Amino acid sequence: MSRNYYIAGNWKMHKTRSEAAELAKALAAQLKDGKHRYLAAPSFTLLETVAPILKGTNIRLGAQNCAAEEQGAHTGEVSVLQLKDLGVQTVILGHSERRHVYREDDALINKKVKLALSHGFEVILCIGELLEEREAGKAEQVCEVQTVKGLDGVSAADLDRVVLAYEPVWAIGTGKTATPEDADAIHGFVRRVIARLYGPAAAEKIIIQYGGSVKPENAAALMAKENIDGALVGGAALKAETFVPIAKFG
Ligand code: PGA
């Protein structure tokens, strides 16, 4: 496979500055010789602390969200300009917690995707179905709609800076992982959606991460699948002891 594995840690709403600095230092030291691409995405308030620790390492700095507008009267939001100023390189968008807890829809997520790309960021666009959608046989349909709408208006050139993360909602933080076969089937399906939209070369190139209870014990089996190109890790990203073995799977 010509695609490079990309392992990302989503720290969600965890850690104080000192805890974040400790984790970032441990990751920088222990992943120094890691062979894959890495990312850590701490809360907005931790970015300024973590940025200098990751600078010059093989771990990119990510944010977990951004506003859909560049700046202005948007109380409580954080702008791409502010993220760029802090050295953020990647923005995670459309995470299921943003979609389902904070009611972000595909149109809003698409606006954020285009804004972040226009400011030079890499975007990790998360997609994934709810348990009831999977049980109703709609997993592919949901992932297709989220992919097509999330990427609406994104040029083929900008797609180079888009990573997809398939995160079945029922597997996030639940300890339930999709089987490598089930995950790979959706990844393959989504890759065909990208082929339809952008052509086979773009589909072959795009990185599709899997997320949802990735752990040191299951990482290698997931990564062994043809269409799984990395992981977006939540709970297990909060400690170097669990993130490093995932990041160095195999
Ligand atoms: P989890 O979270 O690894 O804790 O399931 C994954 C995610 O939400 O990105």
> For residue range 75-104, what is the model confidence (pLDDT) as tens digits?
999 999 999 999 999 999 999 999 999 999
- pLDDT, position 178: 87
CATH code: domain 6-240 is 3.20.20.70
- Dist. CA 101 → ligand 1 center (Å): 15
C-alpha to C-alpha distance for 152 and 24, rounded to whole angstroms: 35
Amino acid found at 175: G
Ligand 1, CB within 6 Å, residue ranges:
10, 167, 172-173, 211-214, 232-236
- Dist. CA 210 → ligand 1 center (Å): 10
- Dist. CA 10 → ligand 1 center (Å): 7
Residue nearest to atom 9 of ligand 1 (CA): 234
Q: Which residue has the tokens 């997931």?
A: 222
> For residue range 172-214, what is the model confidence (pLDDT) as tens digits?
888 888 899 999 999 999 999 999 999 999 999 999 999 999 9
- pLDDT, position 176: 83
- pLDDT, position 177: 83
Q: Where are the alpha helices (DSSP H) in 176-228?
A: 180-198, 200-205, 219-223
Q: Domain ranges in the chain?
A: 6-240
Put simply, whether the predicted model's pTM sits higher than 0.95 gets the answer yes
167 is an active site residue: yes
Rounded to 10°, the helix 17-30/240-247 angle is 30
Q: Which of 104, 129, 133, 167 is catalytic?
A: 167
Count Cβ atoms within 10 A of the Cβ of residue 180 and give its class: 0-12 exposed, 13-18 middle, 19 or more buried: middle
- pLDDT, position 98: 98
pLDDT per residue rounded down to tens, the chain (250 residues): 579 999 999 999 999 999 999 999 999 999 999 999 999 999 999 999 999 999 999 999 999 999 999 999 999 999 999 999 999 999 999 999 999 999 999 999 999 999 999 999 999 999 999 999 999 999 999 999 999 999 999 999 999 999 999 999 999 888 888 899 999 999 999 999 999 999 999 999 999 999 999 999 999 999 999 999 999 999 999 999 999 999 999 8
